Amino acid sequence: MNTTPPMGQRPLLHCWIIGDLHYRALPMWSEAHTQRLAPMFEDLHTLWQTEDRPNFCVSPGDLVETYALENHQMAKTNLEALLGDIPFYPGIGNHEYYDPDDAKPIDQRIETYLTTWNKPLRYAWKASEVACIMLDYPDPATQTDPTHIDVMPQTLAYLDATLTAYAAYPTLIFLHCPLRNTVLDRDPEQHRDYNSLQNFFSPENSQAVRDILAQHPNACLYFSGHTHSGWEAPYLVSTEELGSHPITFVNVMSPWYTGRRTGLRKSEDGSTTRYIPDVPNVLPTFSIRIYRHQASIRVRDHHSKQWLKEWIVPCF
């Protein structure tokens, strides 16, 4: 596989992907969250002033910790401050449905998401010569077993129909969860990471998704979050041959926390919190450039303000 971007070519598209953000308008939470994300905001502002700005940004689900309107409003206000006039495309994850008190009807939780972000649950758009599809993660409470998730039949049908409609364009697919047997655990014995071999963290009908992707040569990149995978988790970026073409699966981690035993933790009496960082403690987001027949995938650590790695993968 070629390991350098095409010489002299301008990308067809440059986009930026930010993983699970988990905004929550509780003082102890938002104080730690603001402190954690501040270097990301600062570094992205600097990058976009000194390098080319992305055509758009994407966050494929779990923008908020719970469905509550004030969490969505906080997320939107902060992202608008970061992005300015750069278009933003959100996705729905399991936390957009989550009501810790189970007091609000599911329709109201979904309506809060829809009205805040002014996007449907599943949708598609075209930028330059590249197509993008945002799919909807299902509400776990509507599943027969909430720990076993299936991509809904209507979502599968939408994916198939939309890939057909955009057959002439390289197409990026976004869904909150990875497919089974993509991103794995850094240490299965210690179980350091949630991963795609676990129920709930990948769809039970992952093969049905793969079967659709295999039928469409324009399906070239699949992006997910959900697992908060740690840096250098196996198959964080991995390419498979499906049908007669390659497709690359990318898990975009999370800038809020990575790893299974990390993040914000309350004291026993609930009066204080502390943030437990992963090892290594990276603050990651992903830059994607699409060229003719190749894509560049770069992950940025906003703590060190360094690029951690670049993958050059085949693309339509």
User: What distance in Å separates the CA atoms of residue 297 and residue 311, rounded to the nearest whole number?
Assistant: 5
Backbone angles phi, psi at 312, to 5 degrees: -110, 120
Task: Provide the pLDDT for residue 1.
Answer: 40
Binned at pLDDT 50, 70 and 90, residue 4 comes out as: low
Which of these, 144, 145, 142, 148, lies nearest to 121 by C-alpha position?
Answer: 142
Q: Is omega for the bond preceding 280 within 30 degrees of 0, making it cis?
A: yes
Across the chain, what does the average pLDDT equal?
A: 95
Domain locations in the chain? 13-315
User: What distance in Å separates the CA atoms of residue 58 and residue 151, rounded to the nearest whole number?
Assistant: 20
Backbone angles phi, psi at 76, to 5 degrees: -65, -45
The whole-model pTM stands at 0.96
What letter represents residue 173's amino acid?
A: I
For residue 186, pLDDT beyond 70: yes
DSSP string, 50-108: HSPPPSEEEEES-SBSSS-HHHHHHHHHHHHHHHTTS-EEEE--HHHH--TT--S-HHH
* The CA-based dihedral angle spanning residues 164, 168, 172, 177, taken in that order and rounded to the nearest 10 degrees: 20
For domain 13-315, which architecture applies? 4-Layer Sandwich (3.60)
Q: What pLDDT, in 10s, does the model give residues 220-253?
A: 999 999 999 999 999 999 999 999 999 999 999 9
